[in-house]
Chain A
Amino acid sequence: MATEVTSDQNAGPVGEINKYDFHTETQAVFRARKGLDREVVEQISEMKGEPDWMREFRLKALEIFESKPMPKWGGKIDIDFQDIYYYLKPTEKQGHSWDEVPQEIKETFDKLGIPEAERKFLAGVKAQFESEVIYGSLKEELGEKGVIFTDTDTAVREHGDLLREYFGTIIPPSDNKFAALNSAVWSGGSFIYVPPGVHIDFPLQAYFRINAERMGQFERTLIIVDEGASVHYVEGCTAPMYSTESLHSAVVEIICKAGSRCRYTTIQNWANNIYNLVTKRAVAYRDATMEWVDGNLGSRLTMKYPAVYMMEPGARGEILSIAFAGAGQHQDAGAKLVHCAPHTTGQITSKSISKDGGRSSYRGLVRVERGAHHAKCNVVCDALILDPHSRSDTYPYIEVAEQDVAIGHEASVSRIGEEQMFYLTSRGLTESEASTMIVNGFIEPLVRELPMEYAVEMNRLIQLQMEGSVG
Chain B
Amino acid sequence: MTDTLTIRNLHVSVEDKPILHGVDLEIRRGETHALMGPNGSGKSTLGLAIMGHPKYVVTEGEILLNGENIVEWSPDERARRGLFYAFQRPIAIPGVKMADFLRHAVTNVRHPERREGEELLPMREFRKELKEKMGQLHMDLEFARRYVNDGFSGGEMKRAEILQLAMLQPKFAVLDETDSGLDADAVRLASESIARIGRQKMGLLIITHHDKLLEHNPPQFTHVMLGGRIVETGGPELAIELHRHGYGRIREKYPEADAENRAMQQVEAGA
Q: What does the 1/0 interface line of A407-438 toward B look like (CB < 8 Å)? A: 00000000001111011111111111100011
How far apart are the CA atoms of A445 and B116 in the complex, in Å? 25
B194-229, CB < 8 A from A? none
Contact of B254 with A by CB under 8 A: no
A426-B51, A428-B168 given; A442·B90 CB < 8 A: no
Residues of A within 8 A of B91 (CB): 417, 419-420, 422-423
A-contacting 9-mer, from B74-82, B128-136, B178-186: B74-82
Residues of A within 8 A of B78 (CB): 426
The smallest C-beta distance from B46 to any residue of chain A, in angstroms, reads 15
Are A425 and B75 in touch, CB under 8 angstroms? yes
Secondary structure at chain A's binding surface: helix, strand, loop or mixed?
Answer: helix
Are A422 and B95 in touch, CB under 8 angstroms? no
Give the contacting residue for A418; candidates B54, B94, B95, B96; CB below 8 A: B54
The smallest C-beta distance from B245 to any residue of chain A, in angstroms, reads 35
Contact of B105 with A by CB under 8 A: yes
Residues of B within 8 A of A440 (CB): 95-96
How far apart are the CA atoms of A418 and B15 in the complex, in Å? 14
The smallest C-beta distance from A329 to any residue of chain B, in angstroms, reads 23
The smallest C-beta distance from A324 to any residue of chain B, in angstroms, reads 15
Contact of B108 with A by CB under 8 A: yes
**Nearest chain B residue, comparing its CB with the CB of A463:** B117
Residues of A within 8 A of B104 (CB): 428-429, 433, 437
Are A424 and B95 in touch, CB under 8 angstroms? no
Residues of B within 8 A of A433 (CB): 104, 108, 116
Contact of B243 with A by CB under 8 A: no
Contact of A155 with B by CB under 8 A: no
A431-B74, A437-B101, A441-B147 given; A426·B93 CB < 8 A: no
Are A438 and B85 in touch, CB under 8 angstroms? no
Residues of A within 8 A of B106 (CB): 428
The smallest C-beta distance from B239 to any residue of chain A, in angstroms, reads 27
Residues of A within 8 A of B52 (CB): 426
How far apart are the CA atoms of A429 and B90 in the complex, in Å? 16
The smallest C-beta distance from A20 to any residue of chain B, in angstroms, reads 35
Are A427 and B164 in touch, CB under 8 angstroms? yes
**Which of A423, A437, A438, A442 has the largest count of B CB atoms less than 10 A from its CB?**
A423
A437-B101, A441-B147 given; A426·B94 CB < 8 A: no
How far apart are the CA atoms of A442 and B150 in the complex, in Å? 12
On chain B, the number of residues with a Cβ less than 8 Å from chain A's Cβ atoms is 32
Contact of A377 with B by CB under 8 A: no
**Nearest chain B residue, comparing its CB with the CB of A443:** B95
Residues of A within 8 A of B55 (CB): 418
Contact of B20 with A by CB under 8 A: no
**Nearest chain A residue, comparing its CB with the CB of B85:** A426
Residues of B within 8 A of A425 (CB): 74-76, 79
Q: What does the 1/0 interface line of B55-93 toward A look like (CB < 8 Å)? A: 100000000000000000011101110001101001101
The smallest C-beta distance from B168 to any residue of chain A, in angstroms, reads 7
Q: What does the 1/0 interface line of B145-189 toward A look like (CB < 8 Å)? A: 001100000000000000010001000000000000000000000
Residues of B within 8 A of A161 (CB): none
How far apart are the CA atoms of A418 and B93 in the complex, in Å? 12
Are A430 and B90 in touch, CB under 8 angstroms? no
Are B93 and A432 in touch, CB under 8 angstroms? no
Contact of A444 with B by CB under 8 A: yes
How far apart are the CA atoms of A437 and B76 in the complex, in Å? 15
Residues of B within 8 A of A422 (CB): 51, 53-54, 75, 91
**Nearest chain B residue, comparing its CB with the CB of A422:** B53
How far apart are the CA atoms of A419 and B215 in the complex, in Å? 32
Are B76 and A423 in touch, CB under 8 angstroms? no
Are A428 and B96 in touch, CB under 8 angstroms? no
Are A423 and B93 in touch, CB under 8 angstroms? yes
Are A431 and B76 in touch, CB under 8 angstroms? yes
Are A426 and B76 in touch, CB under 8 angstroms? yes
Residues of A within 8 A of B54 (CB): 418, 422
The smallest C-beta distance from A444 to any residue of chain B, in angstroms, reads 3
How far apart are the CA atoms of A433 and B104 in the complex, in Å? 9
**Which of B75, B91, B116 has the largest count of A CB atoms less than 10 A from its CB?**
B75
Residues of B within 8 A of A427 (CB): 79, 101, 105, 109, 164, 168
Give the contacting residue for A441; candidates B75, B76, B93, B164; CB below 8 A: B93
**Nearest chain A residue, comparing its CB with the CB of B79:** A428
Give the contacting residue for A424; candidates B51, B94, B101; CB below 8 A: B101
How far apart are the CA atoms of A428 and B109 in the complex, in Å? 6
| Interchain residue pairs A-B with the least CB separation, the first 3 | A441-B95, A444-B95, A441-B96
New A-B contacts (12) at CB < 8 Å, excluding given A422-B91, A428-B106: A417-B91, A418-B54, A420-B93, A422-B53, A426-B84, A426-B85, A427-B79, A429-B104, A430-B116, A441-B96, A442-B94, A444-B147
Q: Which residues of A contact B (CB under 8 A)?
A: 417-420, 422-433, 437-438, 440-445
Of the A-B pairs whose beta carbons lie under 8 Å apart in the complex, a sample of 29, sorted by A's number, is: A419-B91, A420-B91, A422-B54, A422-B75, A422-B91, A424-B93, A426-B52, A426-B78, A426-B84, A426-B85, A427-B101, A427-B109, A427-B164, A428-B80, A428-B109, A429-B108, A430-B108, A430-B116, A433-B104, A433-B116, A437-B96, A437-B100, A441-B95, A441-B147, A441-B148, A442-B95, A443-B95, A444-B94, A444-B95
